[in-house]
A and B are shown apart, each in its own frame.
Chain A
């Protein structure tokens, strides 16, 4: 037994010595950030996202880093499933010794990594996941989330929906947690705003497998006054084409979560439906100085326009930089304390990190779709500040089991 222990101690010493000898002084000063995402499964959203944080990384290090220390992002493919993602996160933590984690796209992967962060006691800043659960039902003190959640984005559309005073609503959503919770939130919030509203004809096709013709016909059969959809990606494109062809959207207002995001809007081109109410990101029309600066830098570096993912990636890495500055270094407890209530700027407006649930108040643009030169654009848009569309502190307290 003693022999083994001694050998272990010797080995540890030797490897320590090797590590010290191998790492030059510069490396000791960099702060390593672990990033992981499903780059292969969702490239359309995540390539712009990566370009976003790469731009931020350039800027932060050019401006001198964090109190003189450069930051380094160690980025990993998470394999598109929770098991591999947890392994990638473990690798970042134990082999790369990163100070904190950021990233993920799909909700179930975000939740799995958040759960790991809680177990390993490291900070995790969820970038893309929209699920409400990551900060509420399954929230934990180590997990923070930047994007406005499903609930918040639904809430942003409610004022317009209630204003129309439509009685009969049909709903279509992809059959998994995001679509289900968007639908549940929409029903709850619209009923509050407009008592007596009816929900008829619900359609829940499997994600990426919508049988658009049949769904459109079934919705038309229900004879709704208005439609609420949370479709996106290929499902949305099929739905829009069939709906246009079959006249489903004629004289019928449609609300579609996320459809104004360039990732989902741009492929629609000629087919873009007129007048839909959407949340999104009208990148070429936002004239605030913060956004102009971001846009110019992004286009200079990448020769491409930013998508919403770019803003998310950019802002997530800036969150990391700001909180490290505020905390004076990567110590986990100090970082958590510094995140609470931290205020910062993003290309789309100032945000605050709420102390109660670790959710940022990042908002989204709410507007209507239109066609311009054969391309989809958002018109009559406004920025909806996330701070106004969050549940009250009491409601959040009840949901978070801490």
Chain B
């Protein structure tokens, strides 16, 4: 690289950093005050883009930007007041689930409103050309963006440091309960913060239209980038978000400039993993204040009563008799449901009783699937052997990554699990000769004696039921109780001589191993695997299933898996806008049963008894 191209790449990085900062700042603000992991932030950004691109044709680009930002802010205020406000009492993860449901609804609304085609906006009037810098052409609009990012930073800084509202926001970010105890009106504060965050997301989206088209795929990719920036910078820290955006954007620009463009697939996750391993609360973050009061401690899981056990045995027996009455597709669907049930139970094991909220559990599902595929296709092992040994790869992966993850806590831990999952995903995605790259591995079929639908169904049924029963049994073993003690009160557990990290590490590995069993079964039921087996979307599906079923119940994940898989299968077949319908169903369930379906039923039964 010559000096002039180094300069230009540096400027490119700055322009991207400004865009990234706008969306990350809003996310960070919202998280800092409300503690909501707002999945819908990318959707707000996408709405900003579409509204701006739609208005730009009529009133010109420069007017469309503030209008789009205001429109999105209004939408954000509505979402907060009508939806989120109702579930602030629910567990934090459930609020994340509600915002995820919102993603699905907004996406389908956007498709319905603006159509499927990408819309490339106009260039910004007045800044539609390029200037010559060190012998290279550089867009004027990018110079504007470079200046705009720091301006927003300064404005936010003034707002937070110099106004009464800002003082309240900082107080709530530092210690929400204390602020509330001192009489700060939380409702009003939350609504205003969410509105400002939404406004920043909409502004970020609108300002992006001279640089990139409005597309339906932008929402999730933006929100993941924004999460990475927020976590690297430290949750709730606006300057942190700015520095992190700068860091990520510059590293990306120079990866490209130096000819390592394939690294851009994963570099932000590598940076995040490194930062979190060195600084567990991000660059500018502080150790979060632990929530106080009675609300936080979960009721311990009671061992299932005799009636429940009888019912579970009866369900299993009914499942064993299923092939007598149904063949064909019912068995195919049931195989998927059983596999996802095991996947969800393994995730629940580490999330619920373990208290470690993993956002990368699909990695271990995928490692199991790839372990099976690689053993069968690359090593030529028989299917039975591949199936038996594949989960070990997942267990090993969980053992290695778990060692790092259990050193963190809260959202940071969640994001580190995501980072590791993305790193594994990108290795699998790019290692063509070994893993088959983006196409994956085809030609994985069960051994002839297991090839019929009925035989494979029984294999899956026996494996999944045995694995789930074992995991549940472990929860009521001394190890399971110790794990819960470590979750509910790490300090006390530590004081009575338990090694909290060791316990959590072991729990993480066990959960990974069992997810691997599900993955291996999945690979042979589909005949092929691709990197999507371990993509973020599968981790999200897992979370949705666990939360739908009820995180503080034993059997919830199983019913969640059945409901979610069945819902997806039926809706996708019968309804065009099935994503929106699934989103709406999840929203309704969240509003009606904030403790999950199974939690709700359990509570009702309890009430009747007393």
Contacts and interface: CB of A to CB of B under 8 A. Distances in A.
B117 A44 contact: yes
Contacts of B535: 81
A221 B257 contact: yes
Contacts of B487: none
A382 B569 CA distance: 44
A211 B443 contact: no
Contacts of B336: 83, 87
B154 to A, nearest CB: 24
A108 B526 contact: no
Contacts of A108: 438-440, 530, 532
B5 A221 contact: yes
Contact of B528 (A112, A233, A247, A263): A112
A214 B14 CA distance: 11
Given A108-B439, A214-B252, A83 B532 contact: yes
Q: Which of A116, A221, A238 has the most CB of B within 10 A?
A: A221
Given A43-B116, A205-B256, A241-B120, A211 B264 contact: yes
B118 A234 contact: yes
B291 interface: no
Nearest to B249: A211
A350 interface: no
B316 interface: no
Contacts of A238: 211-213
B372 interface: no
Interface in B4-52: 5, 8-9, 12-13, 15-16
Given A87-B332, A211-B252, A40 B579 contact: yes
Nearest to B426: A206
A211 B215 CA distance: 16
A211 B12 contact: yes
Q: Is the interface of B mostly helix, strand, loop or mixed?
A: helix
A111 interface: yes
Contact of A4 (B12, B142, B261, B324): B324
A269 B117 CA distance: 13
Interface residues of B, number: 77
A177 B438 contact: yes
B64 interface: no
Contacts of B118: 44, 233-234, 237, 267
Contacts of B142: 213
Q: Classify chain A: how many residues form its interface, as a range.
A: 35 or more
Interface in A1-55: 4, 7-8, 11, 40, 43-44, 47
Given A205-B256, A266-B117, A116 B213 contact: no
A104 B352 CA distance: 39
Contacts of A90: 329, 332
B328 interface: yes
B328 A94 contact: yes
A245 interface: yes
Contacts of B15: 213
B442 A111 contact: yes
A150 to B, nearest CB: 12
A215 to B, nearest CB: 6
A220 interface: yes
A77 interface: yes
Contact of B527 (A79, A112, A206): A112
Contact of B256 (A8, A87, A119, A215): A215
Interface string A102-144: 0000011001101110010000000000010100001000000
Contacts of A112: 440, 442, 526-528, 530
Contacts of B453: 94
A238 B442 CA distance: 34
B332 A209 contact: no
A371 to B, nearest CB: 14
B116 A245 contact: no
B257 A214 contact: yes
Given A211-B256, A214-B256, A234-B217, A205 B261 contact: yes
Q: Is the interface of A mostly helix, strand, loop or mixed?
A: helix
A213 B16 contact: yes
B256 A86 contact: no
B185 interface: no
Given A83-B522, A214-B252, A234-B215, A246 B259 contact: no
A182 interface: no
A82 B528 contact: yes
Contacts of B136: 217, 220, 246
A112 B296 CA distance: 46
Contacts of A242: 139, 211
B442 A175 contact: no
A305 interface: no
B5 A209 contact: no
B164 interface: no
A176 B437 contact: yes
Interface in A216-235: 217-218, 220-221, 233-234
A204 B212 contact: no
A323 to B, nearest CB: 25
B12 A214 contact: yes
Interface string A263-275: 1001111110000
B161 to A, nearest CB: 33
Contacts of B532: 81-83, 108
A175 B257 contact: no
B95 interface: no
Given A112-B442, A112-B526, A245-B130, A180 B257 contact: no
A46 B45 CA distance: 25
Given A177-B439, A217-B136, A211 B328 contact: no
Contacts of B432: 177, 180
Contacts of B111: 43
A76 interface: yes
Contacts of B439: 107-108, 111, 131, 133, 177
A267 B332 CA distance: 41
A215 B117 CA distance: 24
B190 interface: no
A208 interface: yes
Q: Which 5 A-B pairs have the closest CB atoms?
A: A43-B116, A94-B328, A176-B438, A214-B256, A95-B329
27 contacts: A11-B325, A81-B532, A82-B440, A83-B526, A86-B526, A87-B526, A94-B453, A108-B530, A112-B440, A112-B528, A116-B527, A133-B439, A180-B437, A206-B265, A209-B264, A209-B265, A214-B13, A214-B253, A214-B257, A217-B136, A217-B256, A221-B5, A234-B217, A238-B213, A246-B130, A246-B139, A267-B118
Interface of A: 4, 7-8, 11, 40, 43-44, 47, 76-77, 79, 81-84, 86-88, 90-91, 94-95, 107-108, 111-112, 114-116, 119, 131, 133, 138, 175-177, 180, 201-206, 208-209, 211-215, 217-218, 220-221, 233-234, 237-238, 241-242, 245-247, 263, 266-271
Given A221-B5, A246-B138, 18 more contacts: A87-B336, A87-B569, A91-B332, A91-B569, A94-B332, A107-B438, A107-B439, A108-B532, A112-B440, A214-B12, A214-B13, A214-B257, A215-B261, A217-B9, A234-B212, A245-B123, A267-B117, A267-B213
